[in-house]
């Protein structure tokens, strides 16, 4: 790939400045990536609007003609396509920002003043556009960070004023997009515990559709912040124009999608303003979270691969690094374990062949021992009965078994039945005069309070100080926020925002001391993953539902937005499928086990050990290669997914039967994607269960052209419900 040269960027700078001078009337600001352009225009009236979002034009001069190509009905406001819609002046539709000024006035107008482009490196540029109210001393800077090669744009705003008193902001969005198409189809997600990432698609009609969360923590349990919008027609895997969007934020979010009377689509996304009017002091800068999007004119597959590349390179912690396979004891023991049992599990970790043993919930608290989910949360001292020799002896025992050791924590939470609650009732989020209301018998600690931030930081820090060899943290979060109130916070309307700020402060501190230690972002399932949190975590837990059949669907949807390296997939006893099926499905991400190894039949164990070896040889392709969805589990009785390395020389294809009705299977070949048409490939079945033979002839060779046009039949049927194929070029 040839990146734009420095001369090109110099040209841009000159172009912009020249443009400003020559056309003092119209300022055109294109934000271009490899394939696309988002073009803004400040008109003679200094209103800044979006005039184009789509495939980039060969000649930048042509962007000027875009507006004249449209013959839309009258815009009564002059700011229908505003790049950041103010309210209380001319606006008639959903605003991006609404304020009450220091003098009590509710109107805002924002005029273009200037802009600049900073080249961060060969691939990344940052455009800032400065807007100002002509009447009030109130300004907004819009930021557009573009990732050229990945076709990704991150957008956010910084809001500031210098009025004679405080300004109250009622809405303060991160981004305000404006798209033009003949129709729009929204693909959104909903969920609940064990039912995360359920997809549904609908045509957007005139008016507003809002995606939001008001849960405080584990914000995306009911509705994740990720979404897709197809333009003109519903996009498919490889065809159609589609935008993938998400707010990078771990708290309450709100995304409004409004089809206006001119049939354009406005997308306004930011922190949810629900119960959160924000009082902004003079000269205080309010920086919104980042809204992220990628546009693809080649369907969902391309959009998802762009996001994966971007996430691994720029967002996900250690995104291009390594990960540890593991054995977790949660479903093997729940709260019922002791040193002796754990010693056995450490041996099993080694026997299985994974890298690390992960000790889950139940290892702490003495006055109110953590023997169930009703007590002990918050008291992070080793339980003396279960672990008389402490965590450090387990870490040593792990070393004796030549495996690493990791541990579960849920540091933001407290059981009312705990010493922490007794000592610090003021650290708990609750309404002083109301009855407490629990989620999984627990309450959330008040992270708006700096003392609580120190406490949460210390939970992690002390574990590492006492056990420097600790190699992994599973950070859980099982409650939402009820009765949002802090005893120490002056302005309760800032509560939800300050909670998230507090959380990030803690994570920031942890990462500055322990930059790379792997941490899993868990939330009684996948109620929390987002790209702001993933800057601090190496992986996330998609769902407690590990039934492999369910997981095929769930992982499929997650995979549009998050790369496989970030998805912790564990083999458990959920579901009716055999161990091979369960392990194969878990291999499509970061593999772990949560089973009683001792209970495995001999062949099951042998199978797992071999599969782990295969996984170790393939994991870099799964984690870092390109992902192609070949056959959708909702559209066919066979789900098929391919991962291939950048050189297109080596890959792996996962195939599953997802419909158990009579005669279902791969009755025709499945077309492969992402191969080199001119190369010759061999295909071999791997992950075979002991004493079974493959029906695939691995001696045959095929051209990439053949495999992509005619396809390959993995021979999936009721006797072969899970088929893993290794594909390689001939040397």
In the sheet that 264-271 helps form, which strands lie side by side, from edge to edge? Answer: 175-180, 264-271, 253-259, 207-212
Min separation Cβ 518 and ligand DGJ, Å: 16
Sign of CA dihedral 648, 548, 344, 362: positive
Min separation Cβ 363 and ligand DGJ, Å: 11
For ligand DGJ, the closer CB: 37 or 407: 407
Residue 14 in tokens: 């000159």
Crossing angle of helices 339-352 and 602-624, in 10° steps, is: 70
Count other C-beta atoms under 10 Å from residue 283's C-beta.
9
Among 478, 555, 666, 722, binds ligand DGJ (CB under 6 A): 478
Chain-centre distance for alpha carbon 576: 29
For ligand DGJ, the closer CB: 364 or 504: 364
Among 191, 411, 525, 651, binds ligand DGJ (CB under 6 A): 525
Count other C-beta atoms under 10 Å from residue 402's C-beta.
10
Rounded-to-integer distance, Cα 87 and Cα 92, Å: 8
Instruction: Please choose, from the candidates 241, 242, 85, the residue with its C-alpha nearest in 3D space to the C-alpha of residue 177.
Output: 85
By the 10 Å C-beta count (0-12 exposed, 13-18 middle, 19+ buried), 666 is classed as buried
Min separation Cβ 335 and ligand DGJ, Å: 8
Rounded-to-integer distance, Cα 292 and Cα 269, Å: 10
For ligand DGJ, the closer CB: 360 or 382: 360
Distances (CA, A) of 312 to 38, 150, 236, 301: 24, 11, 24, 17
Phi, psi dihedrals of residue 238, rounded to the nearest 5°? -120, 5
Q: Which stretch binds ligand DGJ (CB under 6 A): 302-310, 519-527, 642-650, 718-726?
A: 519-527
Min separation Cβ 442 and ligand DGJ, Å: 10
For ligand DGJ, the closer CB: 84 or 541: 541
Min separation Cβ 223 and ligand DGJ, Å: 19
Min separation Cβ 528 and ligand DGJ, Å: 10
Residue 422 in tokens: 């007794």
Helix (H) or strand (E) holding 661: none
Which residue minimizes CB distance to ligand DGJ?
Answer: 361
Min separation Cβ 522 and ligand DGJ, Å: 5
For ligand DGJ, the closer CB: 138 or 408: 408
Interface characters, 297-336, with ligand DGJ (x: CB under 6 A): ---------------------------------x------
For ligand DGJ, the closer CB: 52 or 439: 439
Determine if 379 is a binding residue for ligand DGJ (CB under 6 A): no
Q: Are 29 and 127 contacting, i.e. CB atoms less than 8 angstroms apart? A: yes
DSSP state, 231? E
Residue that is written with structure tokens 């026997």 in the block: 351
DSSP state, 570? E
Min separation Cβ 299 and ligand DGJ, Å: 33
Rounded-to-integer distance, Cα 391 and Cα 411, Å: 17
For ligand DGJ, the closer CB: 47 or 361: 361
In DSSP terms, 462 is beta-bridged to: none
Residue 453 in tokens: 């931030």
For ligand DGJ, the closer CB: 94 or 544: 544
For ligand DGJ, the closer CB: 54 or 525: 525
Determine if 476 is a binding residue for ligand DGJ (CB under 6 A): yes
Q: Which stretch binds ligand DGJ (CB under 6 A): 234-242, 517-525, 631-639, 698-706?
A: 517-525
Interface characters, 619-648, with ligand DGJ (x: CB under 6 A): ------------------------------
For ligand DGJ, the closer CB: 296 or 478: 478
Min separation Cβ 373 and ligand DGJ, Å: 6
Min separation Cβ 729 and ligand DGJ, Å: 40
Min separation Cβ 405 and ligand DGJ, Å: 16
Site size with ligand DGJ, rule: CB under 6 A: 11
Min separation Cβ 474 and ligand DGJ, Å: 6
Among 86, 299, 319, 524, binds ligand DGJ (CB under 6 A): 524
Instruction: Please choose, from the candidates 334, 327, 465, 472, the residue with its C-alpha nearest in 3D space to the C-alpha of residue 407.
Output: 472
Interface characters, 247-266, with ligand DGJ (x: CB under 6 A): --------------------
Instruction: Please choose, from the candidates 145, 31, 128, 140, the residue with its C-alpha nearest in 3D space to the C-alpha of residue 85.
Output: 140
For ligand DGJ, the closer CB: 524 or 633: 524
Min separation Cβ 360 and ligand DGJ, Å: 5
Interface characters, 398-437, with ligand DGJ (x: CB under 6 A): ----------x-----------------------------
Residue 454 in tokens: 């120190």
Rounded-to-integer distance, Cα 615 and Cα 609, Å: 10
Strands (E), 551-671: 568-571, 590-593, 626-631, 638-644, 650-657
Determine if 360 is a binding residue for ligand DGJ (CB under 6 A): yes
In the sheet that 167-172 helps form, which strands lie side by side, from edge to edge? Answer: 97-100, 167-172, 278-280
Q: Which stretch binds ligand DGJ (CB under 6 A): 241-249, 458-466, 521-529, 653-661?
A: 521-529
Q: Which residues, 6 or more positions from 690, have their beta carbon under 8 angstroms from its beta carbon? A: 603, 606, 607, 610
Q: Which stretch binds ligand DGJ (CB under 6 A): 391-399, 500-508, 522-530, 660-668?
A: 522-530
Min separation Cβ 582 and ligand DGJ, Å: 16
For ligand DGJ, the closer CB: 256 or 361: 361
CA-CA-CA-CA dihedral for 488, 493, 499, 504, to nearest 10: -120
For ligand DGJ, the closer CB: 317 or 522: 522
Min separation Cβ 407 and ligand DGJ, Å: 11
Chain-centre distance for alpha carbon 341: 36
Among 150, 154, 237, 544, binds ligand DGJ (CB under 6 A): 544
In DSSP terms, 190 is beta-bridged to: 198
Rounded-to-integer distance, Cα 180 and Cα 690, Å: 56
For ligand DGJ, the closer CB: 84 or 222: 222
Buried (b) or exposed (e) across 215-238, using 16+ Cβ within 10 A? bbbbbbbbbbbbbbbbbeebbebe
For ligand DGJ, the closer CB: 212 or 361: 361
Helix (H) or strand (E) holding 452: helix 450-466
Among 163, 348, 361, 530, binds ligand DGJ (CB under 6 A): 361
Residue-by-residue DSSP string for 80-119: TTBSS-B-SSS--S--SEEEE-TTS------EEEEEEEEE
For ligand DGJ, the closer CB: 315 or 570: 570
Among 222, 244, 364, 541, binds ligand DGJ (CB under 6 A): 541
Min separation Cβ 534 and ligand DGJ, Å: 17
Could you give the 3-state DSSP secondary structure of residue 73? coil
For ligand DGJ, the closer CB: 170 or 440: 440
For ligand DGJ, the closer CB: 28 or 221: 221
Rounded-to-integer distance, Cα 133 and Cα 467, Å: 55
Min separation Cβ 328 and ligand DGJ, Å: 7
In DSSP terms, 639 is beta-bridged to: 656
Min separation Cβ 526 and ligand DGJ, Å: 9
Among 413, 484, 522, 658, binds ligand DGJ (CB under 6 A): 522
**Positions that interact with ligand DGJ (CB under 6 A):** 330, 360-361, 408, 476, 478, 522, 524-525, 541, 544
């Amino acid at each position: 790939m040839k990146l734009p040269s420095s001369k090109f960027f110099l040209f841009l700078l000159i172009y912009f400045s020249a443009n400003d001078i020559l056309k003092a009337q119209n300022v055109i600001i294109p934000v271009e990536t490899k394939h696309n352009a988002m073009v803004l225009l400040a008109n003679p009236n200094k209103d800044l609007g979006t005039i184009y979002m789509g495939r980039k034009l060969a000649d930048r001069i042509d962007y000027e003609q875009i507006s004249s190509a449209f013959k839309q009905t009258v815009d009564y406001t002059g700011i229908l396509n505003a790049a950041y819609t103010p309210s209380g002046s001319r606006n008639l539709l959903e605003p991006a920002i609404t304020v009450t000024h220091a003098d009590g006035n509710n109107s805002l107008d924002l005029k273009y003043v200037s802009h600049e482009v900073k080249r961060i490196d060969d691939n990344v540029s940052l455009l800032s556009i400065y807007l100002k109210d002509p009447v009030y001393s109130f300004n907004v800077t819009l930021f557009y960070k573009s990732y050229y090669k990945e076709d990704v744009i991150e957008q956010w705003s910084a809001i500031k004023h210098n009025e004679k008193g405080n300004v109250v902001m009622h809405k303060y969005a991160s981004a305000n997009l404006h798209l033009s198409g003949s129709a729009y189809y929204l693909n959104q997600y909903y969920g609940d515990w064990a039912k995360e990432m359920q997809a549904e698609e609908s045509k957007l009609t005139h008016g507003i559709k809002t995606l939001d969360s008001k849960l405080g923590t584990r914000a995306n349990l009911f509705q994740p912040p990720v979404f897709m919008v197809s333009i003109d027609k519903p996009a498919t895997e490889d065809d159609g124009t589609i935008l993938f969007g998400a707010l990078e934020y771990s708290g309450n979010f709100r995304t409004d999608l409004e089809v206006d009377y001119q049939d354009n689509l406005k997308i306004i996304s930011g922190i949810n303003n629900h119960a959160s009017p924000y009082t902004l002091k003079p000269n205080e800068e309010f920086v919104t979270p980042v809204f992220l999007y990628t546009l693809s004119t080649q369907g969902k597959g391309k959009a998802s691969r762009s996001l994966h590349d971007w996430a691994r390179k720029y967002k996900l912690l250690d995104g291009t690094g390594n990960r540890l396979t593991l054995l977790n004891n949660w479903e093997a023991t729940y709260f019922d374990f002791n040193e002796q049992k754990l010693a056995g599990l450490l041996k099993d970790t080694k026997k299985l062949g994974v890298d690390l043993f992960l000790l889950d919930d139940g290892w702490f608290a003495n006055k109110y021992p953590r023997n169930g989910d009703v007590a002990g949360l918050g008291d992070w001292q080793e339980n003396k009965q279960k672990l008389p020799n402490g965590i450090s002896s387990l870490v040593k025992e792990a070393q004796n078994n030549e495996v690493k050791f990791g541990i579960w924590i849920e540091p933001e939470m407290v059981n009312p039945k705990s010493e922490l609650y007794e000592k610090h009732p003021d650290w708990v989020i609750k309404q002083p005069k109301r009855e407490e209301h629990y989620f999984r018998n627990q309450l959330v600690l008040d992270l708006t309070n700096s003392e609580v931030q120190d406490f949460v930081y210390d939970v992690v820090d002390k574990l590492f100080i006492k056990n420097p060899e600790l190699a992994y943290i599973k950070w859980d979060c099982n409650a939402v926020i009820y009765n949002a109130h802090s005893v120490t916070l002056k302005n309760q309307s800032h509560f939800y925002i300050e909670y998230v700020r507090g959380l990030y402060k803690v994570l920031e501190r942890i990462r500055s001391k322990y930059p790379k230690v792997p941490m899993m972002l868990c939330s009684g399932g996948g109620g929390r993953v987002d790209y702001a949190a993933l800057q601090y975590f190496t992986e996330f837990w998609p769902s407690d539902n590990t039934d492999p059949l369910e997981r095929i669907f769930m992982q499929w949807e997650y995979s549009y937005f998050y790369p496989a390296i970030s998805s912790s997939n564990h083999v458990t006893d959920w579901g009716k499928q055999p161990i091979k099926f369960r392990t194969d499905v878990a291999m499509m991400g970061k593999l772990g086990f949560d089973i009683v190894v001792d209970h495995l039949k001999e062949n099951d164990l042998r199978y797992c050990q071999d599969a782990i070896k295969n996984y170790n040889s393939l994991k870099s392709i799964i984690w870092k290669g390109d992902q192609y969805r070949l056959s959708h589990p909702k559209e066919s009785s066979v789900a098929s997914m391919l991962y291939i390395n950048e050189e297109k020389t080596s890959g792996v294809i996962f195939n599953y039967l997802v419909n158990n009705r009579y005669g279902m299977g791969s009755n025709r070949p499945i077309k492969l994607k992402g191969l080199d048409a001119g190369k010759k490939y061999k295909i071999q079945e791997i992950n075979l269960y002991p004493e079974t033979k493959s029906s695939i002839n691995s001696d045959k060779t095929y051209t990439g052209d053949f495999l992509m046009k005619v396809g390959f039949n993995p021979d999936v049927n009721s006797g072969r419900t899970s088929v893993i194929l290794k594909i390689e070029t001939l040397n």
